[in-house]
């Protein structure tokens, strides 16, 4: 349990309370060196920790003030959030996702609380999100620091007017757990993909690449773990090509299951692309975890993935939608196990030196504590 002595109080805003795919937010909540007040359930947070929805607690006061004093310019949810923040007295607000910051800004600004914003991916890439949030002009104008997880995102936020001194490049780090994976000396003819089955992760393209691998290695297997909108698309492809014995879709998984797959698989594969609506990855946590485990990775030249893989040295990268080249890299891994082992080892060392979870959290802590000390 954290001690609040000489520690800042941080209001952490997250639209989701415990999304399976948002392990980075849980990592922030559990590891930031501060007294964290976890606000969630919406881009204007409506819940604090396990407390009931905030609007129920403050709605009578809101309507009485509105009747007596007229319109305050705040919605009920904004008023409830403001009252809660006044009670909790945070030194800093950390908003997960740019659109959370945009929607909550009126309250944060009214109270004069320093704000940090963590951009994660879709919030700086999806065309509609960027447009709806007016290219974050208001957020950039108020925020003390803007965290981004890829060099691509850094360029994008600069193009919107952010000052270089505002921007903090700070990709995620894998859980230390994955550095302790003990790879099999003789991995199976098996590939593992893990994550949400969404357009930007394009699991269907991974299946198409793997089908080409089967022409040379007919007993090879592909495991695509996770769930999402493209689950049925993947199932249909598997059935159409009659490769049910070669491809598994086990659904939602835990870290123990992923560890086992990484131990036994020849490589981790992920064919990330820019979706039609502009949606892109930030820096995929699953790719970081695979690299940390020493598992060779085959992926695409896509946003933050370019930052964490040195092509042909610490992993293999192909162009987006280049299914043929992805297949050839997967075949290469099976053809040359000794070289694949070297690639995996180099990937692990590169992550250990540059992208650890410790480095990730330390940078956040430094900025939070600097803001806190400036207010004392």
Res 5: pLDDT: 59
The answer to whether the CB of 303 falls within 8 A of the CB of 281 is: yes
Does the pTM of the predicted model rise above 0.85? yes
Strand partners, 40: 47
Res 20: pLDDT: 57
Q: Tell me the domain boundaries of the chain.
A: 9-173+357-375, 176-354
Strand ordering across the sheet containing 190-194: 247-251, 221-225, 190-194, 267-269, 297-300, 316-318
- Judge if 9-173+357-375 and 176-354 fold alike in CATH terms: yes
DSSP three-state, residue 102? helix
Q: Is the pLDDT of residue 2 over 70?
A: no
In angstroms, the CA 83 to CA 92 distance is 16
**Over the stretch 23-37, which tens digit does the pLDDT of each residue have?**
899 999 999 999 999
- Reading the block at residue 273, the tokens are 């692309």
% of residues, the chain, pLDDT over 90? 89
Q: Is the pLDDT of residue 1 over 50?
A: no
Q: What confidence tier does 19 reach under pLDDT thresholds 50, 70, 90? A: low
Q: What confidence tier does 50 reach under pLDDT thresholds 50, 70, 90? A: confident
In angstroms, the CA 109 to CA 24 distance is 26
Q: What confidence tier does 73 reach under pLDDT thresholds 50, 70, 90? A: confident
**Over the stretch 207-264, which tens digit does the pLDDT of each residue have?**
999 999 999 999 999 999 999 999 999 999 999 999 999 999 999 999 999 999 999 9
Average pLDDT over every residue of 331-347 = 98
DSSP three-state, residue 247? strand
Class of domain 176-354: alpha beta
Distance between terminal CA atoms of the chain? 24
**Over the stretch 282-301, which tens digit does the pLDDT of each residue have?**
999 999 999 999 999 999 99
Q: Is the pLDDT of residue 18 over 80?
A: no
Class of domain 9-173+357-375: alpha beta
The mean of the pLDDT values for the chain is 95
In angstroms, the CA 329 to CA 290 distance is 16
């Amino acid at each position: 349990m954290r001690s609040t002595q000489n520690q800042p109080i941080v209001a952490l805003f997250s639209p989701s309370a415990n999304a399976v795919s948002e392990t980075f937010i849980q990592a922030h909540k559990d590891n930031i060196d501060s007294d964290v007040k976890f606000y969630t359930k919406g881009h204007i947070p409506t819940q604090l920790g396990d407390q009931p929805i905030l609007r129920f607690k403050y709605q009578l006061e809101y309507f009485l003030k509105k009747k007596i004093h007229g319109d305050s310019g705040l919605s009920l949810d904004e008023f409830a959030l403001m009252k809660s923040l006044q009670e909790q007295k945070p030194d800093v607000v950390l908003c997960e996702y740019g659109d959370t910051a945009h929607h909550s800004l009126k309250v944060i600004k009214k109270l004069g609380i320093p704000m940090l914003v963590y951009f994660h991916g879709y919030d700086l890439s999806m065309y509609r999100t960027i447009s709806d949030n007016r290219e974050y002009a208001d957020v950039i104008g108020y925020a003390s620091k803007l965290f981004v997880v890829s060099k691509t995102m850094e360029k994008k936020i600069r193009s919107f007017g952010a000052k270089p001194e505002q921007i903090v490049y700070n990709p995620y780090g894998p859980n230390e757990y994955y550095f302790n994976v003990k790879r099999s000396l003789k991995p199976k003819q098996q590939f593992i993909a893990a994550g949400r089955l969404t357009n930007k992760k394009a699991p269907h393209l991974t299946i198409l690449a793997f089908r080409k691998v089967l022409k040379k290695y007919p007993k090879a297997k592909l495991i695509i773990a996770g769930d999402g909108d493209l689950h049925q698309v993947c199932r249909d492809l598997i059935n159409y090509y009659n490769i049910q014995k070669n491809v598994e879709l086990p659904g939602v998984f835990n870290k123990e299951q992923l560890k086992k797959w990484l131990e036994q698989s020849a490589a981790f594969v992920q064919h990330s692309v820019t979706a039609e609506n502009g949606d892109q990855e930030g820096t995929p946590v699953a790719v970081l975890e695979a690299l940390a485990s020493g598992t060779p990775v085959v992926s695409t030249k896509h946003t933050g993935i370019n930052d964490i893989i040195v092509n042909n040295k610490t992993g293999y990268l192909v162009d987006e939608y280049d299914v043929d080249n992805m297949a050839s890299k997967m075949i290469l891994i099976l053809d040359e196990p000794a070289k694949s082992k070297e690639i995996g080892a180099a990937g692990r060392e590169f992550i250990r030196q540059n992208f650890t979870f410790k480095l990730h959290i330390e940078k956040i802590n430094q900025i939070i504590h600097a803001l806190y000390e400036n207010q004392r």
